[in-house]
Every structure is written in structure tokens, then in C-alpha cells.
Structure 1
Amino acid sequence: MKRLRSLLPLLILIALGIALVASGALKHFDPHNIAREQADLHAEISAHPLFAALIQIGLMTMAIATGIPGAIVIVLAGGMLFGIVAGTTLSAIGTTLGALILFLASRSAFSHGSGEPPALVAKLRSGYHAYPVSFAMFMRLVPFFPFGGVTVALAWLRCPLWLFLMATATGGTVMIAFETALGAGLTETIAREGTISLNIFAHRRVLLPLLGMAVLALAPIVLAQLRRLSRAKAEG
């Protein structure tokens, strides 16, 4: 019974995510639809700025907390409708809140493991705990890692809450800033080209800065290993 109670928050989030995807609600945030209705949506935002901001935060919170694929379209919509600065701020707040909910639910699900963990699990956790900050930042900054998957992985690795929030608020915001900036320019792109492809996120102008920051996050680990090798050679 305790095991079921610990799993219940995560199961509820999974069920909400499945329902959200099945409802087709994310189709309303397709950039082409936003571009067609942008004038009306901007008028609504101007008339109800606080309500509009809360909607953007709430949508991002729900999308990230449930781990659904396609949450990026909400970030793009935020860039198109609110601009780079406001869009990044609102989406980052929602992302951090949603990630916190998913992290706590995942940590609850993993909290009642019994007995000694398998050797591989123990080795992975010990490796992570040797350099927790570098690993947490690396996982958040690499764009190929699913955001929800990283959140669950950090909960499984027993990442401290303060470190999880720091890595999510910084690394997550960096990624959102790139995506929001792309979203802010999509209206002009759609008007000029008639359509867009999400392949733009594979462009080197997007990937290289993120990968560069991810490499920097691993720098302390690399330096520590080099010092260890140097010390071993000196002693040998």
C-alpha cells in the first residue's frame, strides 16, 4: 500500500499527460495557427496582460510536469506572442515549476526501494555524487536529452533539491531563451517562406552554443581526472 501511495503522484501526472496529448490541445499552439491569429491574440494580451502571463506560465507548468512531448510549441508561442524577454521569463517560470512537480513526484516514486541497489545502480550513483554539480548542469544543457527524462533521472540519482532547482533554473532557462528567440522570429519566417520546419533546432547556431556550455559544465570532471593521472604518474 505504501508503494502505491508513493507511485500515485507520478501516475497521476502520467495520466494527465496522456489525456493532454490525446485531446489534441497542443495543435492550437502550432506556429502557423499562432501567426494567423497573432493580431487578435496580441489584442487579448494587451487587454488582459496578467491573465495572459498566468496562462503561459500555467501551460508550461502542465506540459513540463506531465513530461509530454511537444512542449516546445508552447515556448515558441510564448516568443511569438510575448517577445524574447517576457516570453523567456514566463516560460522559464513555468518550466521550473513544472520540473519541480515532476521531480518531487519522481522522488516519491523512488523513495521506497528496498534492499541494496544492484552494483550498476550503485556505481552510477557514486559516479554522479562525485561531481553532482557538473553532471546536473551537463544533463540540463545538452539539448539531446529529453527534459522530462532528465528530471526523472536526477530524482533517481537522488539529486539534492537545491541543486536540481539551480540546474533547472539556469540550464533550462538557457535552452528556453534560444527557443523563445527562435519563436519571436517565426511570424516573419512564416510570412516569408509560408511554412517552417522544426529542423531549425538542429542548426549549428542553436546547437553549438548549448553544446559549448555543456562541455564547460564537464570541465571540473576532466580537470580532476587529469590531476589524478598526473599524480599517479608522479607517484609511479
Structure 2
Amino acid sequence: MSPPSQNATWLRRLPILVILLAALIGAISLRDDLSFQTLARHREDLLAFRDAHYLWAVLAFLAGYVLIVGLSLPGGTVATLTGGFLFGLFPGVLYNVLGAGTGAVLIFLAARSGFGETLSRKLEGAGGAAARLQARLRENEWSVLFLMRLVPLVPFFVANLIPAFVGTSLTRFAVSTFLGIIPGALVFTSVGAGLGEVFARGEAPDLGIIFTLPVLLPLLGLAALAALPMFLRAIKGAR
């Protein structure tokens, strides 16, 4: 029989291990089910259920979005489009941010409890380049956290794990996540809100819109604003 301390360690690691297993299974078996084509096939049923049971539709949507993000299943973008399609730009964007942010916090807590706290202590005690990198990240924590959310090059799942592994506090992670995902959520929710016309034409939505200049430039401007304290701190340190 394992010592109690070992049992407690495995219990702490169980949530993140379940998430990793679910992510692997979902990537293999659910990619075709959680897709834009599935949304297109069931759009009339979804609209009918929303019109007949609005509150239940909202709760079911939030639970599904949290489940998709919390277990790192494929379909996060489709979920955001669905929020816009069913509930419009507003309150659709509110539901999207709430669902995505809550799921991200759950991953963060699972990763921090399972491996993050141990890894963070090891990095601190190891010294050398790893400890210096961790110290630099903590010095510029707010800037780094917002940059990971604002710049669309960082995968959402990775942006949930890195803060857990370097010892970020729950408050800072939650604040930067819920605020940092708002600009991207606005873009994709607006695309979802216009899906009625896209469905009528038999087309697929243009998700590359986030990389067009009218959308990308404001995002890069927000990213530059988030990075400004980091650059000012670096200049001050150089002096």
C-alpha cells in the first residue's frame, strides 16, 4: 500500500492527467463532431431550442463551452461562433468570455495542483538559467500574461499551462485571462452573429479575419501597450 503522502500526490495530479487524456481522446475522436459542419447541420434545432428554452440554452451553452476548454477538446472556435450565432454579438460575447475564461481557470488550477507547484519550487531551487528565466517572467508577469492572450500566435492551451508552471497566482491568471480574451472573443463572436447569412449562401465563415489589418492592428496595439511596462523596466535596468 502506498504511503499517504504518495496517495495525496496522485490525487492532486489526477485532474490534469484526466484533462491530458481527454484532450488526446478528443483530438482523435471528436474533431469531426465539434466542427462548423456539425453546427450548420443542427442550426435549426439549436435556434428552436433557444427560442423555446432560452435560460436552459444559455446554461447548456456555458456548460458545454467550459467542458470543451476545461478538457482541452477540439471545437473552441466553433463554440465561440455558436455563441455569436445563438445569442448575437451581445450577450453572446459575454457568454463566450465567461465559458472560455472559466474553462481556462480550471485547467490552470489542475496543472498548478498536479505539477505546477512542484515544478515552480524546483526551478527556484535549481538556480542558473531556469531560475533567472522564472525571475524575469515574474518581474514582467502582467505584461507576459496579457501578451499570451492578445497575440493570436500562442495556443490557448499553452497559455493556460505556462503560468501554472512558473508560479503565477490565481488572481493574476484569472484577471489577465478574462480581460485578455475579450478582443479576440469580440471578433469571433461577431463572425458567429453573421452566420445566418453565411448558412444561407452555403459557405463557411472566414476565420482568417483575425489576421486582416483592421483586426490585427488594434490587437497588436493592445499587445504593445501590455508590453510597455516590460520594455520600460528593461530600459531602466540597462541604465
What's the TM-score once normalised by structure 1's chain length? 0.86
Question: What letter is aligned with 1:70?
Answer: G
Separation of aligned partners in 2, 1:67 and 1:40: 26
For the 8 Å contact 2:143–2:230, the answer to whether it is kept is yes
Match of 2:21 in 1: 15
Further displaced range: 209-218 or 27-36: 27-36
Amino acid at match of 2:220: L
Instruction: Confirm or deny that 1:184 pairs with 2:198.
Output: no
Q: Are the aligned partners of 2:191 and 2:205 in contact in 1 as well (CA < 8 Å)?
A: no
Paired residue total: 229
SS at match of 2:117: coil
Matched residue SS, 2:126 = coil
CA separation in 2, counterparts of 1:196 and 1:180? 12
Residues 183 and 162 (structure 1), Cα distance of their counterparts in 2 relative to 1, 3 Å cut: same
Residue-by-residue CA offset, 1:178-202 (whole Å, 9 max, x unaligned): 1111111233134346334533333
Partners of 2:161 and 2:232 in 1: CA distance:
28
Q: How far 1:33 moved relative to its partner?
A: 4.1
Contact in 2 for aligned 1:80/1:187 (Cα 8 Å)? yes
| Alignment-mate amino acid for residue 150 of structure 1 | A
Contact map agreement 2:116 2:166 (CA 8 A) in 1:
no
Partner residue in 1 for 2:12: 6
User: What aligned pairs does 1:22-37 form with structure 2 within 5 A after superposition?
Assistant: 22-24=28-30, 27-37=32-42
Equivalent in 217, 224, 230 of residue 233 of structure 2: 224
1:61 paired with 2:70, answer: no
For 2:107 and 2:231, locate their aligned partners in 1 and report how far apart those are by CA, in whole Å: 31
Aligned counterpart for 1:210 among listed residues 219, 225, 230: 219
Q: How does 1:1-236 map to 2 (within 5 A)?
A: 1=6, 2-24=8-30, 27-108=32-113, 109-113=115-119, 115=122, 116-117=125-126, 119-192=128-201, 194-229=203-238, 232=239
CA shift in 2, pair 1:217/1:30, >3 Å: same
Identical residues among aligned pairs (%)? 30
Contact kept, 8 Å, 1:92 with 1:172, in 2: the verdict is yes
* Distance (whole Å) between structure 1 residues aligned to residue 208 and residue 184 of structure 2: 16
Structure 1 position 147, deviation (Å): 1.0
Deviation at 1:134, TM superposition (A): 1.4
- Preserved CA contact (<8 Å) 1:31 1:186: no
Contact 2:89–2:186 (CA under 8 A) maintained in structure 1: yes
